[in-house]
Amino acid sequence: AETGGAEGGARMAPEIAALPGREQMEEINQQILYEQGVHDLVLGFLERHTAGADTNPGAFAPEQLEVFRLCFLFLYYFVLDHDSTAEALSTQSTLRLLFQQLEWWPGTEVISVLAEILVDNDPANQLLDDGDVMLMVSLLFQDIRKCIGAQHAGEKANWTRATKLLELIESVIESDEGPIMARQ
């Protein structure tokens, strides 16, 4: 047994390395996924299977739509709160693909991915053109019309998508350095 000199024979516990916390594990997982290029595989899959300009959800079986939804969720969690992985998706081709998905995908998953990439990321924000902003505004108005129509029909309106689009538009217009005047 190990004893301490002046402590009168107290035992010294061996040093044990602290286990990584949840945030550290998430960071490690993100790095592994990034290094293996899983995000590129998911983006390639989406590009191959949703390449039609006239893509609509009715063209796919429910199982296929669920696979697409899971791909979008993967991309969302891949960039969630990780600037380095958001930067990996901050390319012209990736943003173009995501905006194509935004045009036809009825849920909020694509909006969430775009928000994680674009919020507080001026270099990615600068890759957008006026057509991207106009698309978001157009989709916002369509969603607002659907919600108002549902309310007039006595149905419950789901404002989630419209709200997320509005927040995304605001983040695209406002950069960290101030408003992008051409987009206002």
Contact indicator for 117, 95 with CB cutoff of 8 Å: yes
Measured between alpha carbons, how far is 68 from 100 in angstroms, rounded to an integer? 13
Measured between alpha carbons, how far is 46 from 41 in angstroms, rounded to an integer? 9
Which segments in the chain show pLDDT lower than 50?
A: 1-2
Measured between alpha carbons, how far is 125 from 136 in angstroms, rounded to an integer? 14
- pLDDT score, position 137: 92
Residue ranges per structural domain of the chain:
25-183
Structure tokens at 45: 């899959």
Taking only the tens place, the pLDDT of each residue in 146-169 is 999 999 999 998 899 999 999 999
- pLDDT score, position 10: 64
- pLDDT score, position 81: 82
Ramachandran region, residue 8 (left: φ > 0; alpha: ψ -120 to 50; beta: rest) = left
Cα–chain-centroid distance for residue 38? 15
